[in-house]
């Protein structure tokens, strides 16, 4: 069933077609909240309809090859995570060609600042903020995690975010495709676009998730970067799901009832189970592979 839904959504707007089948109504959505001055700097907040005290917060950065994508496509994701007791923030951000690197990473940092300042009004715990990104959004999440300048530039400490999840991110690669090279700007500036150049072993915990059948971004990105972080004393883990593609990974998160891979459960377990003292002891070696049921 997942394959058919993914096929339909690929031809239209990702996830939107599936909303008519799977979207519930156990959440409240506040849409179009400004977090910056540009028209694209707007975000949606999802919270459980029934509040049970301050909840951990996920900021989700969507993919789209830095050129496409919209927060409006992720209501299923908001539904899936609020069902698990989380508050979810989904920002839009500036895109190429109106923006160039690192504008969208700066926008992500501003979304973190807005969340830290305002999320209590929506039932979120400002001391429990986690950033999750998919595809190009995962690249931004990895840079937020590893290059402390982005949070510092918005007057936030590195521990303003408790941890990060990179889903199918191009996080350990070189830019070989002309359209991506255009997005990343002058070749001399490319070193600043590579998360691997900023590992110091002091970064917040990072969970890397990838589909083994991803033909858009190789799973080697996640496995290698997790290994490098651990080699330098940091806290990172990679999980690779057998039988899961690039788009299938985000579907497994947004529509967990289909049971293709336990992406939502793995993210929630990471959020609820992690702290600095037991991080390395709790994480298995990078490159763990799970079968997708």
The overall average pLDDT reported for the chain is: 89
Q: What is the pLDDT of residues 54-63, one digit of tens each?
A: 999 999 999 9
Q: Write down all domains in the chain, each with its CATH number in brackets.
A: 22-291 (3.40.50.1820)
Radius of gyration of the chain (CA): 17
Q: What is the pLDDT of residues 200-242, one digit of tens each?
A: 999 999 999 999 999 999 999 999 999 999 999 999 999 999 9
Mean pLDDT in residue range 187-196: 97
**pLDDT value for 24:** 80
Q: What is the pLDDT of residues 97-151, one digit of tens each?
A: 999 999 999 999 999 999 999 999 999 999 999 999 999 999 999 999 999 999 9
Give the pLDDT band of residue 194 (cuts 50, 70, 90).
very high
The fraction of the chain above a pLDDT of 70, given in percent, is 87
176 Cβ contact partners less than 8 Å away, ≥ 6 residues apart: none
Give the pLDDT band of residue 19 (cuts 50, 70, 90).
confident
**pLDDT value for 22:** 74
Counting Cβ atoms within 10 Å, is residue 155 exposed (0-12), middle (13-18) or buried (19+)?
A: exposed
pLDDT at 83 over 60: yes
Does pTM top 0.85 for this prediction? Answer: yes
Cα distance between residue 39 and residue 201, in whole Å: 37
**pLDDT value for 14:** 58
Residue 290 belongs to what H/E stretch? strand 288-291
- Per the CB < 8 A criterion, the answer to whether 264 and 81 are in contact is yes
Helix 246-254 vs helix 263-273: crossing angle, to nearest 10: 70
Mean pLDDT in residue range 154-177: 97
Give the pLDDT band of residue 259 (cuts 50, 70, 90).
low
**pLDDT value for 170:** 98
**pLDDT value for 288:** 63
Collapsed DSSP state (helix, strand, coil) of residue 221: helix
**pLDDT value for 276:** 47
């Amino acid at each position: 069933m997942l394959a058919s839904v993914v096929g339909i959504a690929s031809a239209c707007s990702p996830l939107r077609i599936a909303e008519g089948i799977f979207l519930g109504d156990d959440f409240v959505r506040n849409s179009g909240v400004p977090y910056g001055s540009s028209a694209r700097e707007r975000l949606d907040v999802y919270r459980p309809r029934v509040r049970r005290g301050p909840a951990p917060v996920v900021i989700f950065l969507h993919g789209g090859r830095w050129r496409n994508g919209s927060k409006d496509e992720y209501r299923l994701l908001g539904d899936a995570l609020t069902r698990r007791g989380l508050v979810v923030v989904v920002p839009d951000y500036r895109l190429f060609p109106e923006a160039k690197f690192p504008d969208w990473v700066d926008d992500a940092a501003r979304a973190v600042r807005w969340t830290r300042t305002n999320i209590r009004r929506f039932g979120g715990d400002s001391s429990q903020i986690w950033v999750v990104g998919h595809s190009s959004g995962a690249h931004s999440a990895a840079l937020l995690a590893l290059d402390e300048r982005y949070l510092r530039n918005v007057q936030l400490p590195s521990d303003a975010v408790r941890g990060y999840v990179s889903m199918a991110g191009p996080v350990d690669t070189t830019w070989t495709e002309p359209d991506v090279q255009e997005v990343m700007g002058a070749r001399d500036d490319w070193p600043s676009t590579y998360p691997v150049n900023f590992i110091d072993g002091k970064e917040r915990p990072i969970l890397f998730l990838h589909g083994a059948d991803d033909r858009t971004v190789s799973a080697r990105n996640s496995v290698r970067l997790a290994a490098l972080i651990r080699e330098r004393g940091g806290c990172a883990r990679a999980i690779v799901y057998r039988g899961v593609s690039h788009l299938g990974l985000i579907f497994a998160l947004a529509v967990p009832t289909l049971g293709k891979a336990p992406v939502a459960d793995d993210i929630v377990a990471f959020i609820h189970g992690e702290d600095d003292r037991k991080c390395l002891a709790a994480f298995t070696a990078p490159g763990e592979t799970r079968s997708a049921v």
